Structure formats: structure tokens, C-alpha cells
Chain A
Amino acid sequence: MKSSVITFPGSNCDRDMDVALKKFGFKNKMVWHNDIELPKSDLVVLPGGFSYGDYLRCGSMASKSKIMKSVINFANGGGMIMGICNGFQILVETGLLPGVLLRNKYLEFICKNVFIKINDEQNRYFKNINNNVLELHIAHNEGNYFCTKDQLKEIEENDQIAINYCDKSGNIGEQFNPNGSINNIAGIFNKKKNILGMMPHPERMIDPYLSGEDGSIFFKNLINNLK
């Protein structure tokens, strides 16, 4: 399986993602934002970080960079694209995913482990996953997912809500919502579910000594689904 990670100026989780993808068997290539062509890939990842210093709005400048034309074409052809954290912000700014990520409700940068519940397994990201609650890491200032009422209705009806913040047993409640996101939304799909954007970082949970292994569960399952 071939993957590509796009590096924008200010990305800082690109190499962690590279390590994670390779650990679970992907042949990964790093792609610079100023490149025009995307290498042949089964999965494209937009990594976390602070692309373009978060100028204007998080992800807005990166969404207009050169490589994004190819990324958008890849998406429209049904290609798998995963945006983590800043990558999620970039995906909403390109319009590939609905809604927007606002400043966290209590204006704090949040850096901690959270639990997320996987809502939908009829997609190539989470199909056949053993655990439907995972402990992952979040680190963001703008992770407060917001969309219009019409958009929310649409994404609910199409089962586009990929993951929600929850407690360790999978209960979804306002007290487990770290940043004020509508309905505890931590990640969403596009309609066809080939594009996934999420705030939590699975690539930070792939080592039993350093973190935990719930990210490993995600990546192992992902590569099996893509085979």
C-alpha cells in the first residue's frame, strides 16, 4: 500500500505520521506543498501542525497551495484522504468536508488524551475495527467543530459523523466534550466516506512505552481495509 504525506510550511506532525504509516506497512512518500503532482497513492494524509502559521484562519492558506489541486482531483476520483488536526482544518477550508473548526470554547490550547467513539463502520477507515472506543491524543487551539443547522442535518442523515468525544465506556456527553464541538463531533466524513477529517492524532498512539497503542489498532485495521 502506498501513502503520501503532504508537508506544508509549519506542518509538524508529518514525520510522526511517516513513522506511523511505515510501522504498519505503508510505503510512504513525503510530498512538498509546492509540488504539482501527487505520487500514485492509496492514501493521502494531510498532517497536523500549524501550516502557514495559522495565518488568516487555520488551514486557509494551505488549502490554496499548489499541491491541493491534485489532492482535490484525487478526492473527487474517490481517493482516500485523511486529515488529522490541522489537516482536518485544511479539508474544511478546501470545501471537501462541510463545516468549520472554530477556536476552542474556553480559549485554551488543549493538549491531552481523550476517548473517542467510532460511530460508523460502513467505511474503509473503521470497517472491522475491534474496539469502537479508542484513546487518542488531541492538541489544538481550534478544534471546536461548527456547521450550519442544515449542514448538521445533512451530515447526520448521511451518517457522516465519524467519531465523537466520549468517556472510556463510550458514553457521549457534554462533560466529555473538550472544545465545544457541536454534538461532541471529533471527526467527520464526506458523503462518499473516502475523506476523513479528525482532530485526534492516531499517529501519537503507536508505541506501548511512550503513549498507548490505540493508534496502532487504527492503523493496522486501516491497512487491512485498503489491501
Chain B
Amino acid sequence: MKISVIITLKKDVLDPQGKVIHQALDGMGFNDVNEVRQGKFFEIDTKESNPKKATNKVEEMCKKLLANLVIEDYKIIDTQ
């Protein structure tokens, strides 16, 4: 099954890339943007077929490698 995860910087961590993208959008005329936060997306295809077990495994992966919990949050957004 496939598990999708997004990892973003925590709210109180400065995201300079997001800021620059925001400025660029502003310059292009998208003036109504409040904030842009940039993140990472992972699609993990696993042999595990039990959704709960698979989700738990992916959570462990996030904690141990995919995210650095000092600065990042992870969110499992899809399981199929």
C-alpha cells in the first residue's frame, strides 16, 4: 500500500524559501497571499497491507529519519 507524508517546518521556525516564493508570487500579481510555507512530500510504497500497521511504520520512519522533530512536523495525508 502507498502512504503519503508531508513534512513542513514548524510554525515558529523561519522558512526563508517560503518567504522568497511569497515575494515572487507578490511580484507576479498574486497579491492576496498571506504566507507561503514550503515542505517535502514522500510517497512510501510498502509491502505491509494492514493500513494501521503501515501507518505506524511510516510514523516511525518519520521520527527516525524523514523529519527532524526539532524543526519539522510530519503529517500522514493519505493511505491507499
Task: Report A111 CB to chain B, min CB distance, Å.
Answer: 18
Residues of A within 8 A of B14 (CB): 102, 105, 180
Residues of A within 8 A of B16 (CB): 103-107
A202 to B21, CA, bound (A): 36
B interface residues, how many (CB within 8 angstroms): 10
Question: Which of A13-21, A56-64, A165-173, A187-195 is the interface stretch?
Answer: A56-64
A148 interface residue (CB < 8 Å to B): yes
A102 B17 Cβ-Cβ under 8 A: no
Secondary structure at chain A's binding surface: helix, strand, loop or mixed?
Answer: loop
Given contacts A56-B65, A60-B65, A100 and B20 within 8 Å (CB-CB) = no
A103 B17 Cβ-Cβ under 8 A: yes
1/0 per position for A85-120, CB-CB distance to B under 8 A? 000000001000001101111110000000000000
B70 A107 Cβ-Cβ under 8 A: no
A217 interface residue (CB < 8 Å to B): no
A146 B71 Cβ-Cβ under 8 A: yes
Interface size class of A (residues with CB under 8 A): 10 to 19
Given contacts A106-B16, A107-B16, A100 and B65 within 8 Å (CB-CB) = no
A102 B65 Cβ-Cβ under 8 A: no
Interface residues of B in 37-53 (CB under 8 A from A): none
Interface residues of B in 1-59 (CB under 8 A from A): 13-14, 16-17, 20
A99 B68 Cβ-Cβ under 8 A: no
B76 interface residue (CB < 8 Å to A): no
Given contacts A105-B14, A107-B16, A60 and B68 within 8 Å (CB-CB) = yes
A56 to B65, CA, bound (A): 9
Residues of B within 8 A of A146 (CB): 13, 70-71
Question: In this complex, which of A57, A93, A99, A147 has the most chain B Cβ atoms within 10 angstroms of its Cβ?
Answer: A57
A69 to B28, CA, bound (A): 50
B20 A99 Cβ-Cβ under 8 A: no
Task: Report A185 CB to chain B, min CB distance, Å.
Answer: 14
Given contact pairs A60-B68, A100-B71, A107-B16, enumerate 12 new A-B contacts (beta carbons under 8 Å). Answer: A56-B65, A93-B68, A100-B68, A102-B71, A104-B16, A105-B14, A105-B16, A106-B16, A107-B20, A146-B71, A148-B70, A151-B70
Question: Which residue numbers of B lie inside 8 Å of A, CB to CB?
Answer: 13-14, 16-17, 20, 65-66, 68, 70-71
11 pairs from A and B in contact (CB 8 Å cutoff): A56-B65, A56-B66, A57-B68, A93-B68, A100-B68, A102-B71, A105-B16, A107-B16, A107-B20, A146-B70, A151-B70
Question: Which residue numbers of A lie inside 8 Å of B, CB to CB?
Answer: 56-57, 60, 64, 93, 99-100, 102-107, 146-148, 151, 180
